[in-house]
Amino acid sequence: MMVCEYKPGLEGIPAAQSSISYVDGQKGILEYRGIRIEELAEKSTFLETAYLLIWGELPSKEELEGFEHEVRYHRRIKYRIRDMMKCFPESGHPMDALQASAAALGLFYSLRDLHNPAYIRDSVVRLIATIPTMVAAFQLMRKGNDPVRPRDDLDYSSNFLYMLDEKEPDPLMARIFDICLILQVEHTMNASTFSARVTASTLTDPYAVVASAVGTLGGPLHGGANEEVIQMLEKIGSVENVRPYIDHCLETKSKIMGFGHRVYKVKDPRAIILQGLAEQLFEKFGYDKFYDIAQEMERVVEEKLGSKGIYPNIDFYSGLVYRKMGIPTDLFTPIFAIARVAGWLAHWKEQLEENRIFRPTQVYNGLHEVTYTPIDQR
């Protein structure tokens, strides 16, 4: 048997062949099915991009309308799911609530017909349609309120923002939110996508696939960084404190949140788009000190770490944008999940098309031939 070198975190080791997305970290390029994200952010919508990722090509007008229609009319969650969520502790993290609820959906749709395109489509529609409803429902219920019913007359992103506080969102805000979802929907073989593919490879149901990916996304080394960006901006508190804060991080070798990326050694292309969106948002709704602190941070970090290829990543600006929209900090990662579910489902479908169960090996570094010591002699 061929002996391979062990790479912690499987760094650099291909885990799948995939035609879903492509990153060039040296040039700062991200493509979904070959289309640059800049073009999708300008011209597409989240649901159209989700369709592109899952079914491999842009939908025709009829196909898109059909998909939007199905998603729109599957937004309601079963009252038993809602009742179950009511029992969750209000102090629990919304990612944990989402993971449990996504897994619970599988109890209601337990038929597993993985070779049937209709089953694949129904599962895709149901998960994309209901995840925002579950996130919004937990947000309201943990404050002691009843969840808001989805509104069929609103588009995907407007409806989610509406369900959060029962107010129709400003159209610019809803469009910016939709673009944020486009930018977060997919990013090659990251931890949660790998998790989704490993779970999918056992031929379990898509609810278990999504629940395992949600669990993986929740960690601070993955989806949780955008929450930490806001905590950092709050801690810095003023433009004058930016330079001393960064100097302190560099002296103590601690990471500045929202900067640096394993793949991108130039500015993250998603951060460039989000920076422009943040600009539009602050211009319309008023500049505040967080915007100024963020600008100063970018200047100082570039001055000190630009030569090492450390620039803002997507989490730096997504945190800033979501905060300006009035979204609670601990919903940032669930929103990331609302977007990423479409990417996970694209990988679920691709995995099923040429499935082989994941069964890597390990490098054993333990003992051999150890004798059992009776308990009274230990």
Catalytic residue set:
261, 315
Contact status: 256 vs ligand COA (CB under 6 A): yes
Contact status: 260 vs ligand COA (CB under 6 A): yes
Give min distance, CB of 259 to ligand COA, in A.
4
Among 169, 258, 269, 334, interactor with ligand COA by CB under 6 A: 258
Burial of 220 (0-12, 13-18, 19+ CB in 10 A): exposed
Amino acid at 156: Y
Give min distance, CB of 187 to ligand COA, in A.
9
Closest to ligand COA by CB, 78 vs 262, is 262
DSSP 200-245: HTTT--HHHHHHHHHHHHTSTTTTTHHHHHHHHHHHH-SGGGHHHH
Lookup: tokens for 180: 């944020």
Give min distance, CB of 318 to ligand COA, in A.
10
Whole-angstrom distance, CA of residue 169 vs CA of residue 47:
18
Q: Which residues of 260-274 are buried (b: 16+ CB within 10 A; e: fewer)?
A: bbeebebbbbbbbbb
Among 160, 259, 317, 332, interactor with ligand COA by CB under 6 A: 259
**Applying CB under 6 A, which part among 112-120, 132-140, 248-256, 292-300 lies near ligand COA?**
248-256
Give min distance, CB of 347 to ligand COA, in A.
18
Contact status: 225 vs ligand COA (CB under 6 A): yes
Interface size with ligand COA, residues (CB under 6 A): 16
Closest to ligand COA by CB, 264 vs 282, is 264
Closest to ligand COA by CB, 215 vs 258, is 258
Contact status: 255 vs ligand COA (CB under 6 A): yes
Lookup: tokens for 49: 């991009």
Q: Map the footprint of ligand COA across residues 314-373, applying CB under 6 A.
A: 314-315
Write the CB contacts of 184 (distance below 8 Å, at least 6 apart in sequence): 270, 314, 318, 335, 336, 339, 340
Q: Map the footprint of ligand COA across residues 266-325, applying CB under 6 A.
A: 305, 308, 310, 313-315
Q: What is the Cα Rg of the chain in Å?
A: 22
Closest to ligand COA by CB, 158 vs 192, is 192
CA 145 to chain centre: 26
DSSP 110-155: ----TT-HHHHHHHHHHHHHHHHHHHHHHHHHTTTPPPPPP-TTS-
Closest to ligand COA by CB, 19 vs 231, is 231
Closest to ligand COA by CB, 99 vs 184, is 184
Among 33, 72, 261, 340, interactor with ligand COA by CB under 6 A: 261
Q: Tokens 């619970």 correspond to what residue?
A: 104
Lookup: tokens for 308: 């090492």
Whole-angstrom distance, CA of residue 344 vs CA of residue 185:
9
Closest to ligand COA by CB, 91 vs 254, is 254
Give min distance, CB of 261 to ligand COA, in A.
5
DSSP state at residue 88: S
Q: State which residue has the least CB distance to ligand COA.
A: 260
Applying CB under 6 A, the residues found at the interface with ligand COA are: 225, 249, 255-262, 305, 308, 310, 313-315
